[in-house]
A and B are shown apart, each in its own frame.
Chain A
Amino acid sequence: MSAYRPRILVIDDEPQMHRFLGPALTAAGFEPVRADDGAAGLRAIAAGAPDAVVLDLGLPDMDGKDLLKAARAFYVGPVIVLSAREREAEKIATLDLGADDYVQKPFGVGEFLARLRVALRHKLERVGAEATVVAGDLEIDLVRRLVTRAGEPLRLSPKEYELLARLAEGDGRVLTHRQLLTAIWGPAHADDLPYLRVLVGQLRQRIETEPASPKHILTEPGVGYRFMR
């Protein structure tokens, strides 16, 4: 079997992280590439064009934000950020700058690989984006701007639809508050978090079976929201 093994670049300065990420990625069918600091990581992205990048925040030589900014100039593939909880601000900043997802340390390998697969699938499918997103009995027709639940059309306000469409397009990817606010209300309202909270609440009322414990629109506390099928 000579299936294509996506190459995953892991940029982390802690040797013990590589010690288990390497075997885990290999076992999950990926090809791990190791970089021990930011400079080496950047070189590896430029030269190796990996299928995805796993970036640890808190590298000794470089700010994660700077690295991502530099990389985004020539790299469009998915980036997953590894972060400790106290690096909240930097994590959100990297997401805003175009990181696709994040995993909080310490983490189980299962969760990490699941996130990686979502990010990869999303990137791979982006070219011919799905016209319809199906999540349980919920169907979102992104072309006809039509949302139905169990075949019944749902009446959404334009803003509600806009939010749902953005989240559904993300498809499992976390979208930061800032990204959503900018997409729906424009850059002038990038910090008006209350708008978003109210709108998310309304949308959950419309599409969730149990708005109090949502299944589709999940909150990432302090970061943003993600859509799960």
Chain B
Amino acid sequence: MTLDEPRRPDPDALLAEAKKAGRGRLKVFLGMAPGVGKTYEMLAQAARRRAEGRDVVVGVVETHGRKETEALTPGLEILARQPIDYRGRTLMEFDLDAALARRPELLLVDEFAHSNAPGSRHPKRWQDVAELLEAGVSVWTTLNIQHLESLVDVVWKITGVRQRETVPDVILSKADEVEIVDITPAELRQRLAEGKVYVPETAQLASENFFKPENLTALRELALRRAARVVDDELIGAMRRAGVAGPWAAGERILVLVAGDGMADQLVRSGRRLAEMMDAPWTVATVERPARPPPSAAALARINDAMKLAEQLGAPTVVLTADDITGAVADYCGKNNVTQLVIGKSRDSLWREALRRSFAAAMMRRAEGVALHIVTERSAAPAGPSLAAVVAREPHAWRSYLPGLGYVAVATGVALWLDRTFRASDLGMIYLAAVLTAAVLQGLRPALLAAGLAFLVYNYFFLAPRYLFVIGSPTDVLTLFVFLAVALVTGFLAGRVRDQQRATSRRAAAITSLLAASRRLSASAVKQDAATALAEQAAAATGGRAMILLPEGGEIVPVAAAPAMTELGAQDMAAARWAWEHGEPAGAGTGTLPSAGWTFWPLQGIGKRAGVAAIEPQPQADAESERYVLALLDQGAIAIERAELAAEASEADALRRSERLRTALLNSISHDLRTPLAGVLGAATTLLEYGGELERPVQDDLLESIRDEAERLNSYVGNLLDMTRLEGGGVAPRLQSTDPRDVVTAAADRVSRRLGQRQLVRDFPPTLSTVPADSALLEQALVNILENAVAYSADGSRIEAAVYEDQRNVVISIEDEGKGIPTHQLQQVFERFQRLSESSDRGQGTGLGLAIAKGFVDAMGGRIAAASPIHHGRGTRILISLPKEKPTPHWLL
């Protein structure tokens, strides 16, 4: 690296700036407490903007009846609020959709930390604001410092009030501008006393509690410090963007280690404060220990909450997996250059502390060069689950103790039977066997109970003095300890084996069912099938209902559900739409529209979003089953996407086919219309120019050729019209009792003039059943077939038209002695514009004749088929078979 390398702007900083482009800008009016005049200041500035001709709209403003504030609202456009029914009351809430539809340049949204009424799209107003910013609307909002997530603990300590309504720090740090609205505490108390903040009674109460001078001073300091930090951030950001080198990296890196105890939240907040103080990046980690039994549901929930909190506060989270906690943490610290480690020390009971080696001490030994922050538990923290709670969670646990008692009873029976043959000390082995069995099969606690009972019974029946509960010798004590030790060790080991086995089999089951699901999904070639399969698999996996919604014409609609249902409530549909549009989960259990009855997961395919899956939340669902469902949904999304692609491909194929058809039609029109026209025009002009010089027969021939060609044109146009009628479904055959012989004769007459030297032979039986047919359609079909036979056979050859009948059908057969049709083209002769020898447009017919014949025969309920070659490698036979009329019963004749 050269010394005078030009300073380059930090790419990350530029990227962050670019990301902001297109987003709205967020300005926060930050105050230390209610009543400092945030809303007033915001409205005053907004009024100035309005006066400058900017598009400023009030989304929601709470004036709390303050007169000076209210005086500022006229002149500003105010969005109507949205009524939301909640438990019989109607709450007037900020209307996010109206704001998004109105899209002002600048929107005022008061009270950043407000919690929306249940049933709103987002639980928190800051989430509404985030969506507005995303949509490109700039927002001004107000916030009191006590509502900041990371300061909740501090504010609680200062004021004794725990804030429920909080805003994640990361949201504030993303604000483009923070303006502090500051007055001195004395001034604020003065305003409170004057009734400018609250009505008098409330004001009195407030000034004695929250608005105490010392509280206000502390809160003010917090607010000022926070504002100063934002200024600092802006400065640093500006310097980084400009590429100014500077000593900001103190090199500090903080790792917060949380566990499932009651301290997790507290540790995260402490870490955040430390990170702020040091201006250092921080990470929150937890350690999973695969060899240990999994933590309780409550502990898992606490860890999850702490991780969520950490992410809200802007910290990345990691999960380390290792049995050796200290080793894993020390390793992580070393690799990631962590300099500060925050751990907790809960107030364990004394004996547990004595038994367990202190984690802090172990950590101190392992982590070199890392400053260790040990946070002690606050006494007010909620206690861990009580024993009663544990027992309550296992309602049928007592059943598992019964077999233990049974084993002891059996052992007693066996021992009594063997009593005479063996010494009492040997009989102890039988009881030991019972304890072992209980430990292996029932687990630790039943084994301990069995051990105690076994000792008592053994003592009573077999140890001297017999039939008394007296411990006669130290050996008896040893026996008791052996029983207990066996129960403990075996029970513990067996328990672990069982846990692992259960976990393994659960995982195996999950994999098996995922495989089965994937097989079913990949077997679904059609989108609907894939959706149905996915709904069924998801329902089976969760044990609840599942529904798949796919886009259709811009809307997302339910297409499959298991068990079957078709409707979702309006609220659910709103959540589904949101999940579809934003590609993020919505509905129950998420941050968006949590009051919906379902959880909506976007189905993210490889290329694009395939749809949305609705899963009914199940109370007993754990993280593992959720992971499984998500894996299933991933597969489903891909299956649906693939089905969609397949459909598109076949659509493209159909389009190509219709494109080919159109080309064939154009060629046909160009050739079949123009060729006769060329003949007509040529003959006509010849007659016009040289009529006088031509001899009589030549003149007649030219005139005849004009007539012939005109007829050809007419028949071609007729064919086109017939085809159009067939396409449009306009052929409605009038079926009448018809003698096929008559129709064949009529058709033969029509083509007789075109036969040339060809010989048309008829082979009719003397008697023939009639068929229900439309004689006009049948005649046209036969004419087309005969013309085809003429066109494809040489002068002087034979064309045979035969009629015969079998049990059910009358068959008309037309044979020629032409070249025949190659076997591979036999299938296609009835397709439109299909001519033999595709390369040339010189085919004799129009390419429509046989297609029309087939259309007409089909319309009459008959069948048509082609066979070729028929003899000596030549000739084509077309067969029309029509179902016979039901014979008139003889008694009617």
Contacts and interface: CB of A to CB of B under 8 A. Distances in A.
A, B in one complex: yes
Contacts of B842: 13, 58-60
B705 A19 contact: yes
B679 A16 contact: yes
Interface stretch (A43-51, A104-112, A189-197): A104-112
Interface stretch (A20-28, A72-80, A171-179): A20-28
Contacts of B685: 20, 24, 108-110
A105 to B, nearest CB: 4
Interface string B376-415: 0000000000000000000000000000000000000000
A86 interface: yes
Contacts of B683: 16, 19-20
A108 B841 CA distance: 23
Contact of A16 (B667, B670, B676): B676
A17 B698 CA distance: 14
A105 B708 contact: no
B801 interface: no
Contact of A110 (B678, B689, B705): B689
B79 interface: no
A84 interface: yes
A107 B678 CA distance: 6
A60 B792 CA distance: 13
A20 B694 contact: no
Contact of B678 (A13, A28, A86, A106): A106
A38 to B, nearest CB: 11
A85 interface: yes
B679 A17 contact: yes
A137 interface: no
Contacts of A60: 837, 840, 842
Contacts of A110: 685, 689
A62 to B, nearest CB: 10
Contacts of B874: none
A58 to B, nearest CB: 6
Contacts of B806: none
A130 interface: no
A220 interface: no
B305 interface: no
Top-6 shortest CB links A-B: A27-B690, A16-B679, A106-B678, A109-B685, A24-B686, A20-B683
A188 to B, nearest CB: 34
Contacts of A59: 842
A24 B705 contact: no
B494 interface: no
Contact of A106 (B681, B694, B705, B708): B681
B798 to A, nearest CB: 22
Interface string B652-688: 0000000000000011001100111111111101100
Contact of A20 (B670, B676, B702): B702
B693 interface: yes
22 contacts: A14-B675, A14-B678, A16-B683, A16-B705, A17-B679, A19-B679, A20-B679, A20-B682, A20-B685, A23-B694, A23-B702, A24-B682, A24-B686, A59-B842, A60-B837, A60-B840, A84-B670, A106-B674, A106-B682, A109-B682, A109-B686, A109-B689
Contacts of B701: 19, 23
B709 interface: yes
A176 B664 CA distance: 29
Interface in A67-126: 84-86, 105-110
A17 B685 CA distance: 12
Given A14-B675, A59-B842, A106-B678, A86 B690 contact: no
Give chain B's interface secondary structure class: helix
Contacts of B690: 23-24, 27-28, 109
A108 B694 contact: no
A24 B688 CA distance: 10
Interface residues of B, number: 30
Contact of B702 (A14, A19, A106): A19
Interface residues of A, number: 23
Interface of A: 13-14, 16-17, 19-21, 23-24, 27-28, 58-60, 84-86, 105-110
Interface string B432-453: 0000000000000000000000
Interface of B: 666-667, 670-671, 674-683, 685-686, 689-690, 693-694, 698, 701-702, 705, 708-709, 837, 840-842
A17 B709 CA distance: 11
A11 B837 CA distance: 20
B652 to A, nearest CB: 26
A16 to B, nearest CB: 3
A31 to B, nearest CB: 15
Contact of A107 (B675, B681, B837): B681
Given A17-B679, A27-B694, A86-B667, 18 more contacts: A16-B675, A20-B702, A23-B690, A23-B698, A23-B702, A24-B685, A24-B689, A27-B690, A58-B842, A59-B842, A60-B842, A84-B670, A86-B666, A105-B674, A106-B682, A109-B685, A109-B686, A109-B690
Nearest to A62: B840
A107 B681 CA distance: 7
A58 B672 CA distance: 13
A17 B682 contact: yes
Nearest to B681: A106
Given A13-B842, A60-B842, A107 B667 contact: no
A21 B682 contact: yes
A145 B565 CA distance: 92
Contacts of A19: 679, 683, 701-702, 705
Contacts of B679: 14, 16-17, 19-20
A17 B679 CA distance: 6
Contacts of A16: 675-676, 678-679, 682-683, 705, 708-709
A109 B686 CA distance: 6
Given A13-B842, A27-B686, A109-B682, A20 B705 contact: yes
Nearest to A85: B670
Nearest to B698: A23
Contacts of B698: 23
Contact of A58 (B666, B693, B841): B841
B18 to A, nearest CB: 44
A14 B844 CA distance: 10
Chain A CB within 10 A, most for which of B677, B694, B709, B840: B840
